[in-house]
Amino acid sequence: MPRSSTPLRISAFFAASFIPFGVQIPFYPVLLSARGQDAAAIAVITTVPIVLRLTMASWLGSFADRLGDRRRAIVLYAGVALLACVALGPARDFWSLLVVTAAMAAAWNGILPVTDALATGAVRRGEAVYGRMRVWGSAAFVVGNLLAGRVVALWGEYGIWGFMTLGFAAQFVVAFALPRDRPEAVGRRREGMLAGMRAVAADRRLMAVLIGAGVMQASHAMLYGFSSLYWASLGFSGDEIGILWAMGVSGEIALFTFSGHVLPRLGARGLVMLGGIGGVIRWSLFPLLGYDLLVWAGLQLLHATTFAAAHLGTMAVIGRSVDDRRAATAQGMMVSLNGLAMALATIASGPLYTRYGGGGFAAMAVLAAVGGTILTIATSIHPQSAGVGGKTVEPS
């Protein structure tokens, strides 16, 4: 029997889609500043992706299910992102930068959940292991980040825009190589977008998993917003801080790579429990450590638990609870809930860090404990079989 090419094609798209993301996150504020935007304007413009994640991801995922061929939806979203990035070139004033940023963000927020839906569908059919596909996104993010740093050093804001444009162009081209949805996955009757979202929301166990996942991932808010400042206050140099970030992603990549061996042994429940425990340990130790690169590097490897293990466990539950007809809808709802939890945690992180410094990370340990507990309890409950059209399979 010939080996399916589906894992390779989805892996390639994960890689292509994370390269522009790896450029945009660290360097987009630099581009905005170079184009005359002050701190207040940059704050407003960079908040747009978070707002759209809350409001658009569920609808874009549901639209992809409604369309009946999620590859077509991804091609559409990737094309919009590319056109918006091209329009970024001449954009200089606040309003034009706001509009093109919104267009890019809206499209990218639709791409990720639909890609995850294709990936979990391949897993459900026994064609692939999710982590072994998703790992290429993480690796591409790191490569894009490193290359972008060099490009920025050579060409400044024009290098940022050029690199982003090339990344979005690659994403658009590779999207055509994604597998088409199978006729049996689409179903003869395509339900409306609202009906699909209501059906997913009706599964209380699944919604508990999505909420728990959002709280768990929100425990990273202070890491993303203030860890570099905190490490610098401890005496770490810029190169050392870069090493610490790289160690975190390395842990994530390692777990994704070996997920085919880890998931069958631990199950979804074991993975999310590992994520919660790892989060409590990681964030509780943050305020207690001093200047010691090796110890901090080891602690950063716990990103394999706080992010990757929790994410893999959540994907396993979604894959077994939701069939292909509503897979992108469920993934979109997860992205929206994650965005909501992360936005609230990020807002709270500022005052926490201002008042308590590194001690504020203790609040992230609480979030990890709450999120991990919700996930552990929800994955222990027997899944519903009717509301979402999923299989009645215990994911642990």
pLDDT in tens, 171-217: 999 999 998 876 555 554 466 666 667 777 677 888 888 899 999 99
Which of 123, 152, 181 finishes a domain? Answer: 181
Q: Is residue 395 assigned to a domain?
A: no
Q: What is the pLDDT of residues 48-82, one digit of tens each?
A: 887 887 778 778 887 887 777 888 999 999 999 99
Specify whether 172 is located in the same domain as 73: yes
Q: What is the mean pLDDT of the chain?
A: 84
Residue 3 lies in a domain: no
Verify that 139 and 170 share a domain, yes or no.
yes
Question: What's this model's pTM, rounded to 2 decimal places?
Answer: 0.79
Is 309's pLDDT higher than 50?
A: yes
Residue 391 within a domain: no
For residues 177 and 239, membership in a common domain is answered with no
Boundary of a domain, candidates 152, 181, 210: 181
The domain boundary, picked from 181, 204, 220, lies at: 181
Does 320 share its domain with 221? yes
Q: Within this chain, do residues 101 and 241 fall inside the same structural domain, yes or no?
A: no
pLDDT-derived band of residue 224, with 50, 70 and 90 as boundaries?
Answer: confident
2 found inside a domain: no
Mean local confidence (pLDDT), 298-322: 88
Residues 116 and 202 occupy one common structural domain: no
Tell me, yes or no, whether 232 and 133 share the same domain.
no
The answer as to whether 256 is a domain residue is yes
The answer to the question of residue 280 being in a domain is yes
**How many domains does one find in the chain?**
2
**Could you write out the three-class secondary structure of the chain?**
CCCCCHHHHHHHHHHHHHHHHHHHHHHHHHHHHHCCCCHHHHHHHHHHHHHHHHHHHHHHHHHHHHHCCHHHHHHHHHHHHHHHHHHHCCCCCHHHHHHHHHHHHHHHHHHHHHHHHHHHHHHHCCCCCHHHHHHHHHHHHHHHHHHHHHHHHHHHHHHHHHHHHHHHHHHHHHHCCCCCCCHHHHCCCCCCHHHHHHHHHCCHHHHHHHHHHHHHHHCCHHHHHHHHHHHHHHCCCHHHHHHHHHHHHHHHHHHHHCHHHHHHHHHHHHHHHHHHHHHHHHHHHHHHCCCCHHHHHHHHCCHHHHHHHHHHHHHHHHHHHCCHHHHHHHHHHHHHHHHHHHHHHHHHHHHHHHHHHHHHHHHHHHHHHHHHHHHHHHHHCCCCCCCCCCCCCCCC
Residues 214 and 124 in one domain: no
Question: Given a cut of 70, is residue 98 above it in pLDDT?
Answer: yes
Q: Are residues 168 and 199 in the same domain?
A: no
Q: Tell me what the mean pLDDT of segment 255-265 comes to.
A: 87
Handedness of CA 166, 171, 173, 177 (dihedral sign): positive
| Residue 389, pLDDT score | 40
Look up the CATH number of the domain holding residue 33: 1.20.1250.20
In the chain, the percentage of residues whose pLDDT exceeds 70 is: 91
365 and 277 co-located in one domain: yes
Residue 396 inside a domain? The answer is no
- Looking at the structure, do residues 158 and 254 belong to the same domain, yes or no? no
Identify the band that residue 25 occupies on the pLDDT scale cut at 50, 70 and 90.
confident
Residue 97 in domain: yes
Confidence of residue 34 (pLDDT cuts 50, 70, 90): confident
Q: Which domain holds residue 133?
A: 8-181
Indicate if 212 and 343 belong to the same structural domain.
yes
